[in-house]
Every structure is written in structure tokens, then in C-alpha cells.
Structure 1
Amino acid sequence: MILNSFQQKLNDENPYDFSGLKAVYLNCTLKKSPEQSHTSGLISMSQAIMEANGVSVEVIRPVDHAIAFGVYPDMKEHGWAVDEWPEIQKKVMDADILVLCTPIWLGDKSSIATRTIERLYGFSSELNKQGQYAYYGRVGGCLVTGNEDGIKHCAMNVLYSLQHLGYSIPPQADAGWIGEAGPGPSYMDENSGGPENEFTNRNTTFMTWNLMHLAKQLKDNGGVPAYGNQRTKWDARTDKDHPNPEYRS
């Protein structure tokens, strides 16, 4: 991905040190590698900005892996013979930044994106050393591509899901590109106008820098302060004024 002159200027004059950060992009395309993914085209712009500023980046296509359905960390413990999700989960947990990326199908995120979010959800009950939910201290963003309407709808769902799991969402944490309504070229197609689109390029740039800024702030300050949000303290409290009602059959 060739960045424009202003994007490159931002990289060259950047006064911040992001070199300790790690990012994972989950490209929820339906296309197995090495088939061209239009979503990967937009990812490459954001990736180029991060890498130019010292962030370690890995892009993963979940569709390339045998990922079981379910909402537990390892579905092999629940009847599935194969489940490669745990290895992806380790990479997600080792990263400061997660960008969930999806094409649009029937106005919504891909089925692979839905499965990916379900598997992320399966780890959300785990706790960190401070007794907070495990995703605390990490930041999330979203990239969307397609040749039909639905960018904001997909982004609302993805970003809501990530914050619900415990991710921190910076300002303007989504970007996307769609062509004209109806059948037409996709992002990487010749003369699509996607890679040159001013609106998409601006939003992708803002999203990427905001992700790096917030991730650095959280990492430098030990994550989200562990006060008032610790599951361990909540469960251990003795003043349970309103215990859960007993279920009666």
C-alpha cells in the first residue's frame, strides 16, 4: 500500500514512540488465502501506517483456520474434534490493538465475523491479574468494505461487541469503503476509486492513529485503573444487599 504524501508526512514527523505496541487484524473475509480479499486492501493502508511507526502487526484470516462454532475458549472440550481458535486467541491476547475487519453481505458483517466475535466472547469471562475482565487495557477498531450499503451498521455491531467484551474504543474507531449501490466494482478492482477515496483514506488514517494513541496511553499507565470494575471484588463482597432471587421450578 502506497500512502499519500500527508500520511507519509505524519509518519515522518511523528513525535510518539509506538514501538512497544502489537496489533492483530482479523480479516473476516469469506475468501481463503491466497485469493484476493478486497478487505485486505483497506487493511494494508492501516497496517502500513502502524508498521511505519514501529507497531508489530499480524494479519490473520480466520477463514484459513478450522474454527469451531461455540462460545467457549476451546471447543475441543465440548465435542469438537478440531478447533484452531485457541492459537488465534493467544495472539489476540498478546496484542494491544485488535482491528476486526469484514466485508458486507446482505447489509451485514460476514458470517466469519459473527463466528469470530462469538469466539472472542467465549474468552470474555476470563480475568486479568487485577481481577478485571481479560480484554481490559486493550483497544479495538473496525474496518469494513463492500459494494453495497452497510458500513455504519456493521461498525455499530462490531464496536459494540468489542466494548462489551472489555475493549476500549477510541474516537472514530471505524472506517470503510463501498461502491455505488447495486452490483459494481469492489475496493481492489481496477478503477473502483476505492484506494483513492478521500473520505475512506481520511477515516482510516484517523482510526489508525487513534488506536495507536489510546493503546500507548493504556499500556504506559498499566491499563484501565482497577477500581470499581473488578469481578473478583464484586464476587467477594459481604454486603450483598440484593442477592439474586432463587429460581423456583
Structure 2
Amino acid sequence: MARYDDLSALFINCSLKPSRLPSNTQGLMDVSIGVMAANGVKVETVRAADLEIPPGVQPDMREHGFANDAWPDLQKKVMAADILVIGTPIWLGDKSSVCTRVVERLYGYSGKLNDKGQYDYYGRVGGCIVTGNEDGAKHCGMNILYSLQHIGFAIPPQADAGWVGEAGPSPSYCDEGSGGPQNDFTQRNTTFAAWNLMHFARMLKDAGGVPAHGNLPQAWKDGARFDHPNPEYR
């Protein structure tokens, strides 16, 4: 079996609660974290609500009118990790406002290039974990995974996992009697997602990232057309 002890993973919990309060999203994220840690992956978890992250789509919003911005330091953690997992609760059928802001700030860095000349997120893998007691888990997963792949992350098969309890006021994932920690479908999918993220990160690391042909912005700007069927289009 492959080794994973040279990989690192960053989990960003987009709960509305700061870390001094318990998070149901963290409860399910901990399953994925446990799988990765058992295989030697270096894992770090960040609670986004603990940080002062202003809105915007620029790398550093202090340069755009805000007094403080914790995002640049968090961005360094994103870039240092082989795996990024975003966790969110469901509110009104959608990802949390904190999660939306995290995705926006990730997008603000998407124009940067790596040493090969590709977009800088290339070579990293992304996944998500969703919890709630209302409909919307698949909607949130589609939104987050689309956003991650759009800016350059590789998305493995079954890279999302979620738990949704009974609709309406009902026990949340970590509450006694919720059934979440005993739900075979959720526990299986969370485990599979963790392994698929590790597998893809292993393959990309061993391959030196995504091949740098056909995806270089500057080369396209300079006139390369990478086998486009009509290279003289106007």
C-alpha cells in the first residue's frame, strides 16, 4: 500500500460558531481527519469564524480599505497543503455565509501562477464535508466542489460526505440520539472521501503535479493554441 506520511491536509471548518463552542460540522470532519491521521498525514484544522476575514476577492484586503485581514496567513496554509477540505453546515438549504466568504477569498488567489506557469492551485486536491438538519447537502457539495475545481483543485471521485438529520428542529450530528455517528451511509462516505483525497494527493505528488501542457495562460497569451482545431480563429 502507498505511504501517505509525506502529505499534509488543511481542514477549514466554516461553522458559524467560534472554536470555543462545539461544532457538529467538526464532529463529522473529525472522522475524515482520523482516517488521514491514522495514515500519517499531517493534518491542521482551522475554524474560520475565529479569524477576521473581510469580504473581497483580492489576496490581501488590507490593500483595499480593511484594517485587518487574516486571510493572507491562512492562504499560506492552503498553499502548503496537498489536500484542502472545506466543512460547512447547511443554512436555508445552502452553505454557510462563512463558507461563501472562504470560497471567495480562495478565488482571489486563483490568478497566481506556479513555477510551471500554471494556475497555482494545480497539483492540490479538494473535498468537502456538510452537516445539517435540513435539505441541501448535495447542493452544498456541488457548489463547493465546483468552486474548487474551477480555480484549479483536482476533485477525486466521491470527494464529499455529509449528514442530514430529520428535517426541522431535530438533533444535530453530535447530539445524543441523532443517529449521525452510527449512520453507515455517512460513515462509509466520509471514510471513502478521506481515502480518495489521499489517493489523488499521492498520485499528483508522485507525478510532479498536473502536466504543464495545454494549460499555460501565458503561453496562450503569447499565441500557443495547443492543438485547437482553428488556431487562427478571431
Query: What corresponds to 2:32 in structure 1?
Result: 46
Query: What corresponds to 2:75 in structure 1?
Result: 89
Segments of 4+ moved more than 3 angstroms: 238-243
Structure 2 CA distance for aligned equivalents of residues 172 and 30 of structure 1: 26
Query: What corresponds to 2:108 in structure 1?
Result: 122
Query: What corresponds to 2:228 in structure 1?
Result: none
**Could you tell me how far 1:33 is from its partner in structure 2?**
1.4
Which residue, 45, 55, 74 being the options, matches 1:59?
A: 45
Query: What corresponds to 1:28 in structure 2?
Result: 14
Structure 1 CA distance for aligned equivalents of residues 42 and 55 of structure 2: 29
**Could you tell me how far 1:241 is from its partner in structure 2?**
3.4
> SS of the residue aligned with 2:87?
strand
1:158 and 2:149 equivalent? no
**TM-score, length of structure 1 as denominator length:** 0.90
Q: Which runs of 5+ in 2 are unaligned?
A: 226-230
Structure 1 CA distance for aligned equivalents of residues 223 and 64 of structure 2: 32
> SS of the residue aligned with 2:127?
strand
**Could you tell me how far 1:106 is from its partner in structure 2?**
0.3
1:72 and 2:63 equivalent? no
1:211 and 2:197 equivalent? yes
Structure 2 CA distance for aligned equivalents of residues 123 and 242 of structure 1: 30
Query: What corresponds to 1:190 in structure 2?
Result: 176
**Could you tell me how far 1:16 is from its partner in structure 2?**
1.7
Q: Give me the identity figure in percent.
A: 62
> SS of the residue aligned with 2:193?
helix
Query: What corresponds to 1:241 in structure 2?
Result: 232
Deviations 1:108-153 (CA, angstroms, capped at 9, x unpaired): 0000000000000000000001110000000000100001111000
Structure 2 CA distance for aligned equivalents of residues 144 and 178 of structure 1: 8
> SS of the residue aligned with 1:168?
coil
Query: What corresponds to 1:227 in structure 2?
Result: 213
Stretch deviating more after TM superposition (49-58 or 230-239): 230-239
Q: How many residues align?
A: 229
Q: Which runs of 5+ in 1 are unaligned?
A: 1-14, 244-249
**TM-score, length of structure 2 as denominator length:** 0.96
